[in-house]
Structure 1
Amino acid sequence: MNPTTAADTHPLDHLVLPTQSLDVARARLAALGFVVAPTGIHPFGTENCCVFLADGTFLEPLAVGDEQAAMKAIAEGNVFVARDRVYRDSHGDEGFSAVALATGNADADHARYVEAGLSAGDTLSFSRAFTDAVGKSDIASFKLAFASDSNATDAFLFACERVNAPKVDRTALQAHANGATGIVEVVAVSGRPAEQHRLISVAVNDPTASGQGGAFHLPNAILSVFDPASFTARFGLPAGAPTDLRLAAVVFSVRSADITARLLAANSIKHDIAGNNDIVVQPASGQGAAFIFREIQ
């Protein structure tokens, strides 16, 4: 295979947050100060209500809208739906199951994953309607390639190729009252952090990544893997049950920590301060990960 360079390292695309109910997720995310997009329907039984950020990343709260269609998709080898089902069976309907990485060639990523012995299954191509804040619709098309270590069953990573980007205006969907402008860090917990380095380096297409200090530097964000004690020390949050790899927290950049804190207080959202004045909101129904708001000028 051709050698890769730092320029080939995949950026963060989006995060998958399973939830039992999109209505609950929408209400919770709105209370946190986010604008939530209209519901998107997948052709294989799942549905989402995304939160789009100005840096091009987004959150994907994911629910099962059509159980029969989802079961059919699993039987036909749909890795996305199958991994969602495995996650829900193990952890319940609320959580943080996957990190999606942006790619221009999902087929090439799939080939790399297979060669490394880290493929989670066949690629997946699909399209769905996308509607912006004023009701304008277009078709979004994607191709996904999946990576997972057999020992890391609590989380997976996948490459997401946007085959057709919808021609709609997302500006209104990115104007969040809490001041969030992007995702600066994704935080995972592992009882054996060093053993996750190969999976992550292959998934992000950076074979030279060392994960020094548990941090993998993507072009637009950091993916950090902490041992349980370090995670708790940094964020003041419980690390949870032992795991090889579990996604635990999302760090957002905000324009003003004061504005964010006032909004959370006004909406009766309990929050704490950790580290260098990070605003920490623990997971709740409709919010499967800890949300951490960090002022970045």
Structure 2
Amino acid sequence: MTETMPAGPHSLDHLVLPTASLDVARARLVSLGFVVAPTGIHPFGTENCCVFLEDSTYLEPLAVGNAQAAAKAIADGNVFVARDRAYRDERGNEGFSALVLGTENANADHMRYVEAGLSAGDMLSFSRVFADTAGKSDTASFKLAFASGAGAKDAFLFACERINAPKVDRTALQIHPNGATGIIEVVAVSEKPSEQHRLISIAARSPTAGQGSTAFGLPNATLTLLDPVAFEARFGIPAGAPSELRFAGVVFSVRHADTVAKLLAASSVEHDMRGNDIVVRPAPGQGAAFIFREIA
């Protein structure tokens, strides 16, 4: 029997962006106007350098810091590391592999995923040290439940329960020169979008707005699922190799679009204007199309 939990869709928590090098990711994100947190070390061979936003979402650039520890974790059944390896084997070391949903009960989510035939494997509980810009550190603890469609190696979703939130001040990490305040939309691409509706609806507990709809409403963002033609028409960027499901774009809310444009120009970052959006194509250390949109 499934455990009870609050009704309604899960919120967007964070996005996982595989990269070959955290140094490259840090340099790229700084050139885009983001403040990047100190490196965080996982106990299973991976490491990150996160970008935290005012709306409590964040980006997690992820690299393999200890290949031996990562290989052992995979052998021990660590789904997070195994899916990271599968993504890199399929797509290379740069990209956008996972959308993470906030939950108050990862156990209940895992049971839902198992009952729906969408579980990607065993749950994962772990802790790591988190440090702020002043050097103060505390321990962050998490419990994860994983969901994935059959045969899909390019993307997965997981629910993340924060067991222990670190008692550190993130304010300085959330104020970015580009004026980014949050993530308002995540864009995924599929050769057959309708076949991915069930996975996303169950993982996020969010049905589409209606028959034929491509939008899944989360409390703090929208997850949009497009076919390759629609993706290229909207952003002016090729969708890339065919895929059952691949996360491809992140839309950020910013205070002033002209601030972003000037910053990108000063950093020699190529960008395009698409209506009210500033579009930056994927690059090493970035992993996905970044779209900046001024929100009044």
- Summarize the alignment of residues 1-297 of structure 1 with structure 2, pairs less than 5 Å apart: 7-206=7-206, 210=210, 212-274=212-274, 276-297=275-296
Q: Residue 4 of structure 1 contacts residue 205 of structure 1 at CA under 8 Å; is this kept in 2?
A: no
4+ residue runs over 2 A deviation: 1-8, 206-213
Distance 1:265 1:213 in 2: 36
Q: Which amino acid aligns with 1:279?
A: I
Give unmatched runs, 5+ long, in structure 2.
none
Range moving further from structure 2, 2-11 or 222-231: 2-11
Task: Give 1:207 deviation, angstroms.
Answer: 5.3
Q: Which amino acid aligns with 2:144?
A: L
Q: Residue 5 of structure 1 contacts residue 206 of structure 1 at CA under 8 Å; is this kept in 2?
A: no
**Tell me, what secondary structure is at the counterpart of 2:36?**
coil
Distance 1:133 1:164 in 2: 20
CA distance 1:279–1:212, shift in 2 (3 Å): same
CA distance 1:251–1:74, shift in 2 (3 Å): same
Task: Give 1:277 deviation, angstroms.
Answer: 1.8
Please report the RMSD computed on the Cα atoms of aligned residues, expressed in angstroms.
1.6
Q: Residue 206 of structure 2 contacts residue 216 of structure 2 at CA under 8 Å; is this kept in 1?
A: no
Q: Which amino acid aligns with 2:188?
A: A
Question: How many residues align structurally?
Answer: 296
What TM-score comes out, normalization by structure 1 length?
Answer: 0.97
Instruction: Report Cα offsets for 1:119-176 as digits up to 9, x if no partner.
Output: 0000000000000011110000000000001132210000000000001110000010
CA distance 1:208–1:245, shift in 2 (3 Å): closer
Distance 2:211 2:21 in 1: 35
Q: Residue 54 of structure 1 contacts residue 181 of structure 1 at CA under 8 Å; is this kept in 2?
A: yes
Q: Residue 96 of structure 2 contacts residue 287 of structure 2 at CA under 8 Å; is this kept in 1?
A: yes
Distance 1:4 1:289 in 2: 36
What TM-score comes out, normalization by structure 2 length?
Answer: 0.97
